[in-house]
Structures are given as structure tokens and as C-alpha cells.
Structure 1
Amino acid sequence: MSKTSDQYAQMQTGAGFIAALDQSGGSTPKALGLYGVDANDYATEEEMFDEIQKMRERIILADDFNGKKVIGAILFERTMTESIEGKKVPDYLWDNCNVVPFLKIDKGLEDEADGVQLMKPMPALDTTLQAAAKAGIFGTKERSVVNIANADGIEKVVAQQFEVARQVVAAGLVPIIEPEVNIHSETKAQAEDMLKAALLKHLDTLAEGDDVMLKLTIPSNAGLYDDLADHARVVRVVALSGGYSTDEACEKLGKNTKMIASFSRALTEGLQRAMSDAEFNTALGSNIDKIYRASI
């Protein structure tokens, strides 16, 4: 059973944040570039994914990457079958680090319509969820994007998210619903008000026990999502960094007492492949500590 009581309790009340280690085919080249791995360093997609896996493994093996500050980690689908020190990554995270494993399941975004980008179809989702449950994955993460305050578009995003969430719950996993609001949107605050209303409406349709998590852009108005965090069907509300620097994301998050972080780029900021292990661990430890303090 993937949804263990210990993991559920850690997600609901644990002090710390969720590390987003789920760079996909679209985001991997940029992530590798920031890490100091040039596109000339790999010739094929397979080699590219090998390089990002090396980076992920280095992060997971770092001294400060453990359940004392990092309570969960989101993985890319390929990572689910990779191994660290002879153990599958999801098992290694929980058994060795006390970090709850999640899986990114979306296949990317559709083109923008009605000011939003819906998720692309996931025709093999049931198969993926069965494999995830068997691999010891606790939950999933699925991302769509809101670019402007368009009520029709936002309703479509939320409706699609909850349709997928129900499928995830039926497979025995806990979905992280992620309707990201673009931090550069000229109508960001208005879009967030609309998003909150749509999320509350759909949360009220969930049956008892059909619990979800929410991953949201840090709101323009601090505390906006407190009502979502208090909803009976919500395990936790987590925040994405959305392109903010680590310091800026942490400063904004610190004003939202009922959200914890689920950062990707902000977590890896300043990390370089050329660093010694000691330098790497120190830099990562500093980022982890900043994000942890902002989350508690």
C-alpha cells in the first residue's frame, strides 16, 4: 500500500518542504545549463536524462537532504525506475532519507486558450498509476498554467485537474493539484481570486477520504489560500517558486503561514557540476535551510 499512515502524517503535519526534482524533457536543458552542463556535453535525449539523473542523485545523497527538513520529493517518471546505491529511487527516498516520494504524471501543456494552458491528454494514466503504486510512490503531481484572469479558462483548468485527481485517488494515491498562476501575469491577483473560488467549489464535491494536496503560486495577497489549507479534503497547500529567486521566493512564502514550499529551480540555485562534494553540499544545504525556514 503506497499511502501509508506515516507518510500521510508527514505530509499533513511534517515541518519542512517538498523538493521538486521532476525536470522533464522540456525543462531539463535549462536546468542542466544552470548546473554547468552545456548542450554540447550530451548528444542524445538519453544522455541528457543521464546527466540530470546524476544531478538528482547528487542532491539526494547530500547530507542535508533528509526528512528533518525535506519531507517529500517529486520525481520525473524515468526517475521512478532509476536506482541509487542499488535501491530504486522511491524506496531509497523513504527508507534512507525519510522523504515521501511523489511522481509527476502530466505530459506537458496544451497551447494557450482562454488565457490558460490545460494539460495534454494522458491516455496511459491508469497504467502509470498502477506502476507508481507498485513502486511505493505516495502521490502524484500534475501541472497546468493560468496566464490571465479569465473565469472560463480557470474553471476549465480546475475541472480538468479534479477529473485527473479522482483517477489518482482511485488508484490509492494522493494527487497534488497544480494550477500554476504565471508570476508575470498582469492580472495575477485577480486570477488568484478566481482560482481560489473555483478550487473551493470543486473541493466541496469530493467525498470523505478523497483527499488532495494543492500546489499553488505564492499569492499576491498574503494569506489568500488559508481557507484552502483549512478545507477538510486538503492534506497540505504547497507553493511553487515560479521563477522567483530563492531569496525572493522564501521572503514571499514566509508571509503565508499555511503554505510550505515545493521548489525546483530555487532549490538548485547556485549548484554547479564542477563543485567539489563539500562545496556542493554546503551550497545545497544553504538553500535547503532557507526554504525550510520559510516553510515553518
Structure 2
Amino acid sequence: MSYENINIKNRQYKIVVDNIRKVYDVRSQNGQDNERFLALDNFNLKVKKGEFITVVGPSGCGKSTFLDILAGLSKPTSGKVYIDGEPITGPALDRGIILQGYALFPWRTVEKNIEFGLEIKKIPKEERKKISEKFIELVGLKGFENRYPHELSGGMKQRVAIARALAYDPEVLLMDEPFAAVDAQTRESLQEELLNIWEKTNKTIVFITHSIEEAVFLADRVVVMATSPGRIKEIINVKLPRPRINSQIRTSQEFNLSRNKIWELLHRDADKKQTEVSV
């Protein structure tokens, strides 16, 4: 696929990933020579504006490498990635990044953490406050504006991270295992909260996860990756109705069909590798 062959005026595609390949130079086992490690190969993906995409795959399949390339933190060895028809050349404020480690500034209050990106954009102080108040309310943290990160639970910290990413109004949210560090009950609550925010803001979201259930519950489409090298194995369309509530969706036939299909795709490769090792 070449982006030149896609109608550049057709703005239905927010993100176009055009045949990217990523190779790392790594130390060999003897520690003296360099070896080439192929992390991603023949990776193609088109994401529509406002679409919610989740990415699942085994450890080491290149999920986070792919997200780093989308964020502009890493460059592909070959191929290109486009947002709105423009190639990604580095980090920019059109993309917000949310990680599982929260990455909050411990010396800043909730309000001041959320205002950080607005300060970089040189938004006036009064306007920054209004924007932060809006997103504090959106993520359900009204009354906690003056708390510091050490005074918050894990789920609340992640809400601050989401609000901070949304506050400077990026067009794309890139999320790398954002709920992995919280307990199961908080995780389900945050999943529903994220969908609520997404439905209100119409952001384009690319969400990395190891959880098949989370991937299916959140997504319009699930990208299933394989490893050695990292590549897209299959893309699953999720036909669950919206809005989604965990207690209703997880018992549905469609949810279980999608979950089981993804499980089979992932474990088919794992079983094959295990057989090869045994032989």
C-alpha cells in the first residue's frame, strides 16, 4: 500500500500506517557483536477519524514499538505513518500519550498537572483554569483539584493522566496498557469512564492491552498481532452495541464470540511455537 494511491482528500482516515518495518541493532549473546532484531515487518493499518482501535498480542510482538512510532518517539526503519495525510516526523501536540505509570508530576496538584500541556501551548492562566475545571469534572475528580498525586488512589491518578492528555485537545489518544496497574474493579470502572469520555469528545484512540476482554469491550476493531517478527495477524470487527456497560456486555453472545476468536488466534501461534520447541 502506498499513501499516494489513497485519495488524500478523503479525510475518513485519521491515521494511515504504510508498510512500516522496524529493525533494532542489539547485542549478541556473547556481548561483543551486534545483531539485527526485526521488531515490526509489513505493518499496514488505516484508522478512521473517531475510531476506537485496540491492539493485542503476545509479549514482544511490537505493540509498544508501534505506539512509539505513532507518537513520534521512534522512527520506522522503512515505511511511513501519516496523520491527516501528513507524515509523522516526531512528537507533536496533535497526539496525547497515556501510559500505565501515570507519569504525573508529584510536586503539582491535580489541577496543575492537568494544566501542564496548556502551559506549553501558552494558554492564558484564566483560560487554563477553565479548561482544567472542565476536564476535572469530565473524569469525575471534582473536589480533588488541590490534591497531590501521593494523596490519590491508582484509579484517580489514571483519571488525572487522561484529563491531562485531553486538556490540550489532541486529535489522537495513544494509550499503552493504561489500566494494567489498577485492581480489576477499578479497571472496569475506568474502561466505562474512558468510553464515556470518548463518546463525548470523538477522539481517535489507539489502545494497547494484554487483556482480550478489555480489547473487545472497548473497541470498534481489535488488531491482533503475531510475533517473530511483529505483524498484524488479523483485524476483528466488534459489533457490540454502544453505549457499553461491562455487566451487560460481557455476558452477551457477541462478546464471547469475539473474545474466543481472538483467544484462538493468539494461542494458535503459541501452541505452534511450543510444538517446535518440543521437537
Larger % of helix: which?
1
TM-score norm. by structure 2 comes to 0.38
Task: Name the structure, 1 or 2, with higher relative contact order (CA <8 Å, separation 6+).
Answer: 2
Larger % of strand: which?
2
Q: Tell me which structure has the larger Cα radius of gyration.
A: 2
